[in-house]
Structure 1
Amino acid sequence: MPFDAKGNWVAFLSAADQREIADRQEQARLRASLAALGRITDPCVHVGDPAARARAALTGLYRTAETLLPNFGAIRAYEDPNVLHDAQEAERGARLSSLQKALDHRATQLKEHAVGALESAAILAEKHRPKLDPDNMAQLIRTDQAWNNFIRPQLESGKSWPDIMKNLDSDALLAVQRYAPAYETARSDRKTEHQLPATLAGIERMTQQRLIAVTPEGEARDALQQHVDVQRMHDAVMVSAEQFKRLGTPDVPRNEVVAGTQLGVKHLTYEAGAELGDGSD
């Protein structure tokens, strides 16, 4: 009596019967994954502070990826030699569409939570962020001196923004806010102007980090740090959700994309400081 390598009895099963059984098992796995996704409690429902909400959104996106992504490879591998090619493609497309719809719906929910968390964190931080006041002559003089006597000479001598930032106080940081955009715009040309948005965004991130360092411990510093943390997790959610869009395309290399997406989401989750859930509530 013939058995397979796992000890299962396979007597009298034709190749077509075995393919049908395998296909039914694959469909059952897909239904189980979709059901499991539905049982995962929204991680952001009962979360209050912005950092915890953003972290929950990113963790939820990772858990969604772990639950659904393995099914994409199995669906694209679906074949049945007893069915016409067009019918196979239609069945494969229907299954991919169902899976992609569930993934997109979940990703949209979690993106909304991440956006809401970032908006809340920005409001809290803004109350403690130093601001330029065009009517404050003393402040205008201090920022002008900081730029022209300290920051700009270092830039023109070839020193990098990261090196300069290490020694800036709050007035000098306001000087960066006041003068850096125009300075960087003026020294960009046709070959480098496409890099300007990224350059200015980098300067803004460094300014935020330095402001945290020069702010005394307390409520203000906590709010500024939270905004930076939430921004990082928000960005990770957006990048991860964008990666999901490729998965439902039938003609992309399935193993490469699915594996790459899983690793990418996991890496982003770690880098952003979120926690990898095990899927339990």
Structure 2
Amino acid sequence: MTDQLPASTLRLALVVGGLVLSLLLGFGVGRLNSGPSSAAGSALAAGGDHTHPPGAGEPGVGGLAVTSAGYTLTPLGGEFAAGRAGEFRFQIRDAGQRPVTRFAIVHDRPLHLIVVRRDLSGFQHLHPGMAADGTWSVPLTLPQPGVWRAYADFTAVTADGTQVPVTLGVDLVAPGGYVPRPLPAADRQATVDGFTVGYEGSPAIGVDVPVRFRVRAGATTPTLEPYLGAYGHLVVLREGDLGYLHVHPDTELAGDAVAFQLTVPGPGRYRLYFDFQVAGQVRTAEFTLSVP
């Protein structure tokens, strides 16, 4: 006669066996999961193909966020009446919400402030002053009602001397009836205050392309003066989200042309704002660029 375990003993053995099996399976699953996760962590730490610095967005495009790379653009006020002179005050704060006071000089200034309405009209290029407590201020008039975008383009200097280039953006509002202006058609030539400005070059997606601007005054070529560390300054904004493109200027003239290296991130329409200086006065020529 075969011995049989009591029912209670059998149930206890089954329960214990199930627990042991669960622990073994859990250990195996944990090992399987930990392997790929550790490898992914190593790739992230090493700067793998699909990683970006903290707070970074689309490569080569800035100004889409009020916080990026551990820095925050913090307006101190920001109510404006259309057409009335006001003042824009703000701070750049670090991850601990402390005002930043150390900035590198880039293009002859520690910070460049670009202001434009969301239909890409009303462009302004300003240079605020900074107080000892890290508060920046600049006179600002928003000439028409609407929502405006303010970009702070700067390079912060950390405690160990590391330079961190960042462009942050924030909306400013001038209440009133807003009638957006249609973006002008794409054109390689523009006129401003009697000067005719044209450009050469066909920007391509994801590729650095030289773009050269030439300034004419009737049949003559005026003498361009250095402005912001070069013979011109170029800001490029993308229609739709108002992404701010980083443009690299050549410090010397290319013959009689002001040259830049420009990369566009994708198809769409862009607005180009080319600043140049003649006889001590800065003017801005504007162009629409269409990238298929």
Q: Greater CA radius of gyration, 1 or 2?
A: 2
Q: What's the TM-score bracket when you normalise by the shorter of the two chains?
A: under 0.3
Q: Which has the higher helix share?
A: 1
TM-score normalized with structure 2 length:
0.23
Q: Which has the higher strand share?
A: 2
